[in-house]
């Protein structure tokens, strides 16, 4: 590029000298040989349109160091072999064997000594589910089994677990055939990591780990966003009969704008002339349903103003339950 | 629990150029200490010729931040690295409101029906049974 500049400058000097000396003007409009104007924009566009690539295929990647950093980041002592096994997925093993067969490498000389993470994933899933179930049974004793089941299903659902896993850099460390890693693989890998932790550090530490990473996902969520209840009024009547209280009578407490397009009704539910809940709604039926939901939230103790989750003490009495669940 | 959001730091510098002197001194003196103090950050040190010395920080949410370390001393690089290690990967943009509260209202937010009497007689100190 410097040579090109020099050529241009000398060209102009020559032209100036020639014009000064004679009357010949030689304008050099031949294209210069340096980089084109559009090149930078083109390279930027190529960079943006390039398909996403695994971090392990980009420069500066050390798998062993990354795994050690992963265990330090989570403040847990993993046994590194178990952790490395936890990241290996079956699709990866199949793809590697297929590649080796294609390359014609002998199976016995270069055997893949990699184990699957399916066993660890099962252990992790069953442990987390039973642990979360016990946590909720302890914290919300009035919540029925379907409610607790719905909460546990929500916390171990694919989207939530894959979201948590992605933000813990598990996507970079998984060995999988496809990229970007599909959410079910992320979920399986995360549970396999929990299984690896269970086998390395024992059930108590794993319980604390599960509590620290799953339970904060419930912050700000309402019970009936997670647990779909079709007939809240029927459920409420059942709950009240279980507690030997009379069935609720709905009454309109307040109403606003009845004859307009957007009416607002507040329906209160009364048991023995005492109010148990009040809920708003656009129509009377909607308001009654909402009042039933508010009453259920109060009965189950899952209101918005309940005490926040207690993260201080580790849960005791879990060891026996873990033995039961793993058997 | 606290999970450090910085995943890895890549230190790319030239082995001969003058503005990478601080980076070279950092690698010789302070890089090992930094790595020991932050065991959850992977520090990659790669000499490459011809380009400006740069510190690339990658965070858990995928953000990649490049910081020029040309003509910086070793201590300044240590400070910069500790600052990056304490940040989260959220974009550094203007914060629109300097306050946030999780409990916007203690006794309940006012709505047009808050202090209006209801249609039924509700138990209260004012309403006497007749």
Report if residue B60 sits inside a domain: yes
Report if residue B113 sits inside a domain: no
> Are B113 and A254 in contact (CB < 8 Å)?
yes
Point out the residue among B2, B4, B42 whose CB comes nearest to the CB of A65.
B42
Q: Which fold has domain A229-300?
A: Double Stranded RNA Binding Domain (3.30.160)
Report if residue B114 sits inside a domain: no
Which tokens in the block code for residue A181? 């890693």
The whole-angstrom distance between B116's CA and the closest CA on chain A is 9
The whole-angstrom distance between A82's CA and the closest CA on chain B is 19
A/B interface, count of CB pairs below 8 Å: 55
**Which residues does A contribute to its contact with B (CB < 8 Å)?**
59-60, 62, 65-66, 68-70, 72-75, 167-169, 172, 212, 251-256, 264, 266, 268, 275
Report if residue B111 sits inside a domain: no
Report if residue B15 sits inside a domain: yes
Q: How far apart are CA A246 and CA A231, in angstroms?
A: 18
Query: Taking CB atoms and an 8 Å cutoff, what residues of chain B touch A256?
Result: 112-113
Which residues span the domain enclosing B53?
6-86
Read off the pLDDT of residues A113-154 as tens digits, 9 standing for 90 and up.
778 888 889 999 999 999 999 988 988 888 889 999 999 999
> Are B7 and A251 in contact (CB < 8 Å)?
no
Q: How far apart are CA A110 and CA A224, in angstroms?
A: 54
> Are B60 and A65 in contact (CB < 8 Å)?
no
The stretches of chain A forming alpha helices (DSSP H) are 2-21, 38-49, 63-73, 80-86, 90-103, 118-139, 145-155, 158-166, 170-173, 183-201, 203-214, 223-226, 232-242, 284-300, 318-326
* Assembly ipTM: 0.78
Q: What is the number of domains present in chain B?
A: 1
Q: Consecutive sets of 10 residues in chain A, 327 residues long: mean pLDDT of each?
A: 52 51 60 85 92 85 91 88 86 82 70 79 92 90 90 91 88 85 89 91 89 88 88 90 89 85 89 86 91 91 84 61 48
| Beta carbons within 10 angstroms of residue A202's beta carbon | 12
Distances (CA, A) of A133 to A122, A136, A153, A299, B72: 16, 5, 10, 19, 54
Q: What is the pLDDT of residue A323?
A: 45
Q: Are A279 and A294 in contact (CB under 8 A)?
A: yes
Q: How far apart are CA A298 and CA A248, in angstroms?
A: 14
Query: Taking CB atoms and an 8 Å cutoff, what residues of chain B touch A212?
Result: 1
> Are A69 and B41 in contact (CB < 8 Å)?
yes
Q: What is the pLDDT of residue A13?
A: 55
Report if residue B47 sits inside a domain: yes
Q: What is the pLDDT of residue B34?
A: 92
Q: What is the pLDDT of residue B113?
A: 74
Tell me the three state secondary structure of residue B79.
helix
> Are B8 and A66 in contact (CB < 8 Å)?
yes
Q: Closest residue of A to B103, CA-based?
A: A305
Tell me the three state secondary structure of residue B87.
coil
Q: Closest residue of B to A171, CA-based?
A: B60
Distances (CA, A) of A78 to A82, A256, A287, B38: 8, 61, 52, 18
Q: Where in chain A is the domain with CATH 3.30.160.20?
A: 229-300
Read off the pLDDT of residues B65-119 as tens digits, 9 standing for 90 and up.
999 998 899 999 999 999 999 988 888 888 788 888 877 777 777 877 777 776 6
Which of A47, A60, A273, A291 to mutate to test binding with chain B, by most B CBs within 10 Å of its CB? A60
Q: What is the pLDDT of residue A291?
A: 92
Q: Which fold has domain A62-223?
A: Ribonuclease iii, N-terminal Endonuclease Domain; Chain A (1.10.1520)
CATH number at residue B73: 3.40.30.10
| Residue A284 neighbours by CB under 8 Å, 6+ apart | A252, A265, A267
In the Cβ-directed half-sphere of A300, how many Cα atoms lie within 13 Å? Answer: 25
Which tokens in the block code for residue A158? 């694919």
Query: Taking CB atoms and an 8 Å cutoff, what residues of chain B touch A74?
Result: 1, 3
Report if residue B56 sits inside a domain: yes
């Amino acid at each position: 590029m410097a040579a090109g500049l020099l050529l241009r400058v000398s060209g102009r000097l020559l032209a100036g000298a020639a014009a000064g000396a004679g009357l010949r003007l030689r304008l050099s409009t031949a294209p210069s040989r340096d980089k084109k104007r559009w090149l930078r924009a083109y390279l930027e566009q190529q960079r943006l349109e390039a398909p996403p690539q695994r971090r392990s295929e980009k420069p500066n990647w050390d798998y062993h160091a990354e795994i050690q950093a992963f265990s330090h980041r989570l403040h847990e002592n993993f046994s590194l072999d178990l952790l490395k096994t936890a990241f290996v997925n079956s699709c990866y093993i199949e793809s590697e064997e297929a590649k080796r067969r294609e390359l014609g490498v002998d199976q016995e000389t270069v055997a893949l000594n990699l184990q699957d993470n399916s066993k660890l994933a099962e252990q992790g899933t069953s442990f987390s589910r039973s642990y979360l179930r016990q946590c909720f049974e302890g914290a919300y004793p009035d919540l029925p089994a379907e409610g607790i089941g719905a909460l546990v299903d929500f916390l171990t659902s694919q989207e939530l677990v894959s979201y948590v896993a992605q933000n813990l850099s598990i996507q970079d460390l998984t060995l999988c055939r496809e990229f970007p890693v599909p959410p079910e693989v992320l979920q399986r890998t995360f549970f396999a990591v929990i299984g690896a932790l269970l086998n390395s550090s024992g059930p108590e530490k794993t319980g604390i780990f599960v509590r620290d990473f799953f339970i904060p996902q419930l912050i700000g969520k309402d019970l009936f966003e997670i647990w779909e209840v079709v007939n809240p009024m029927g459920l409420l009547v059942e709950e009240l009969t279980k507690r030997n209280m009379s069935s609720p009578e709905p009454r309109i407490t307040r109403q606003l704008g009845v004859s307009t397009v957007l009416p607002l009704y507040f329906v209160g539910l009364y048991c023995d002339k005492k109010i148990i809940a009040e809920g708003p709604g656009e129509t009377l039926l909607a308001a009654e349903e909402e009042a039933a939901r508010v009453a259920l939230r109060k009965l189950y103790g899952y209101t918005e103003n309940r005490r926040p989750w207690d993260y201080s003490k580790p849960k005791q009495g879990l060891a026996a339950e873990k033995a039961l669940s793993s058997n | 629990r606290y999970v450090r959001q910085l995943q890895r730091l890549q230190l790319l510098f030239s082995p001969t150029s003058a503005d990478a002197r601080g980076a070279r001194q950092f690698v010789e003196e302070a890089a090992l200490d930094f790595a020991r103090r932050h065991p959850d950050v992977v520090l990659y040190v790669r000499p490459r010729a011809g380009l400006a010395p740069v510190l690339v920080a990658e965070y858990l949410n995928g953000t990649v931040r490049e910081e020029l370390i040309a003509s910086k001393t070793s201590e300044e690089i240590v400070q910069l690295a500790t600052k990056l290690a304490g940040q989260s990967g959220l974009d550094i943009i203007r914060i629109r409101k300097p306050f946030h509260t999780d409990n916007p209202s203690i006794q309940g937010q006012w709505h047009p029906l808050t202090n209006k009497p209801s249609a039924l007689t509700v138990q209260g100190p004012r309403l006497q049974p007749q």
